[in-house]
Chains A and B, each alone.
Chain A
Amino acid sequence: EADIYQTPRYLVIGTGKKITLECSQTMGHDKMYWYQQDPGMELHLIHYSYGVNSTEKGDLSSESTVSRIRTEHFPLTLESARPSHTSQYLCASTGLPNEKLFFGSGTQLSVL
């Protein structure tokens, strides 16, 4: 059912590298979100956007950036990867207030 896609599915990278995690949705949703999920499963909001050229920081945003140049695309960039960034990253979108979030399958990032 979900038309929200994340790439890559898995990524192993060395410390200090710059990486971009991709997220795209084909549902025309205005609201998009990035979450980091720790091994204990808790979700932490990193960034969100309510439309083109609109981005907001979440609770865990200090080491990453996002852009929203097109409605369907919401990439997340880590300028300098560190082992502490090793985690699962989930992208989500929704179209209307109080309506359900659609989640991508996630990117599992390992930083060595």
Chain B
Amino acid sequence: GDSVTQMEGPVTLSEEAFLTINCTYTATGYPSLFWYVQYPGEGLQLLLKATKADDKGSNKGFEATYRKETTSFHLEKGSVQVSDSAVYFCALSGRSGNTPLVFGKGTRLSVIA
């Protein structure tokens, strides 16, 4: 079945450091890919998404490119801030959209000033 593997945390960075959180997937066909973020004490919210190969999703300085050849969707940000401290989830949706999202296990990011 479909699955998502993302790097384990926690990840601790200093403010203004470069961030990469790796995500790879296994799926039949051509899934849509997502990154969700969960701030402390809140539910998840969509950070960005890409629906086809070579698409780049971006939001709030974060970017991720849908790489079909490497089945990857790594999350990057050039300069993190303390306010980016959260848990990040990679997820995929099967092409039909009729099955629940498959989530990775989450990566906790802590940014220190």
Contacts and interface: CB of A to CB of B under 8 A. Distances in A.
A43 B104 CA distance: 8
Interface stretch (B17-25, B40-48, B63-71, B73-81): B40-48
A42 B102 CA distance: 11
Contact of B43 (A40, A48, A58, A103): A103
Contacts of B53: none
B32 interface: yes
Interface string A69-97: 00000000000000000000010100011
B100 A41 contact: no
Given A40-B105, A43-B106, A100 B34 contact: yes
B29 interface: no
B28 interface: no
By size class, the interface of chain B is: 20 to 34
A19 interface: no
A42 B105 contact: yes
A101 interface: yes
Contacts of A50: 98
Nearest to B33: A98
B101 interface: yes
Given A48-B100, A100-B34, 11 more contacts: A33-B100, A40-B106, A41-B38, A41-B87, A43-B89, A50-B98, A92-B43, A92-B44, A97-B96, A98-B97, A99-B97
Interface of B: 32, 34, 36, 38, 41-46, 49, 51, 87, 89, 93, 95-98, 100-101, 103, 105-106, 108
Query: 10 smallest A-B Cβ distances: which pairs?
Result: A97-B97, A103-B43, A100-B46, A41-B106, A98-B32, A42-B105, A98-B97, A103-B44, A43-B103, A98-B93
